[in-house]
Amino acid sequence: MAMIGSTALVTGASGGIGAAIAHRLASEGVRLVLVARSKDALDALASTIHARHGVRPTVIVLDLERRACGALLLQQVQAAGIEVDLLVNNAGFGTYGAFETLAPELEQAQIAVNIGAVVDLTHAFLPGMLARGRVAILNIASTAAFQPCPFMAVYAATKAFVLSFSEALWAEYRGRGVHVAALCPGAVDTGFIGKLGDPGVRETAVFSSTLSPQVVAEQAIRALRGGGPTHIVGLKNALLANSARVTPRRLMALISGAMLRPRTHAQRA
């Protein structure tokens, strides 16, 4: 789809993948609505985007852990007279460590943001998008979606939901003017890794090698333009993800557990 002149709403936009996608969209002439919890970070990003790309983003501060966050966000967007053509559900976080050591409230919050907000925002914005047509929804999943991940059990399960949800909606709406896709990066060099709370996580096989947010953002643009429902970032990640489809799940759980085994039992900072 043509992007110039369209409007994209990006959640989790204050840093990392979200900020990189926002920059890349702005370079295509896309108007932006940036959503995250940190006003200072959003304002700084909006200023940088305006200086670099000539696009002046709209900033909305909202915690997507809140119930009915989709309706709240839609109200603010409509009040500003904005119609969203591209919805990028990027907000999310992970926890890391032996499951019994992780705070229950963080595990529930992770489900609320990684799953609840994706469903809620999609449900809120989809009717208007359907009415306009030639629109797209991009949900940020992960290569963790393709197999169980010991020591990141809840995170991987949430991303498996996002992948399945996106693939189902792609089939449901592909003939109705709405393209839905899931973007599946592997480990990315962002603040996500530091917030997992264990410095030793960078020494695991999974996080010892990372992609840049800019590489992920480039693939995000391709995914928004069309094609199939599943977009895996990086050849190595694609090979690993596709091998997981044909490997017994029991074996995949053991392999990913060995690749993620922590040196210490830590939780999100």
> H-type helices in 38-185, by residue range?
39-53, 69-79, 104-111, 117-132, 153-173
Give the closest residue to 189 by CA, choosing from 16, 58, 4, 42.
16
Cα–Cα distance measured from residue 24 to residue 9, given in angstroms and rounded to the nearest whole number: 13
Contacts (Cβ under 8 Å, ≥6 apart) of 78: none
Coil, strand, or helix at residue 261?
coil
Alpha-carbon distances, residue 87 vs 8, 62, 138, 197 (angstroms): 6, 16, 6, 30
| Amino acid at position 210, single letter | T
Count Cβ atoms below 10 Å from residue 173 Cβ, excluding itself. Answer: 17
- Select which of 93, 96, 151, 155 is catalytic: 155
Grouping H, G, I as helix, E, B as strand and the rest as coil, residue 88 is strand
Confirm if 7 and 31 have CB atoms less than 8 A apart.
Answer: yes
Q: For this structure, is 96 an active site residue?
A: no
Among 232, 216, 186, 194, which residue's Cα sits nearest to residue 96? 194
Q: How far is CA 101 from the centre of its chain?
A: 26
**Paired tokens of 55:** 């696009």
Give the active site residues.
155
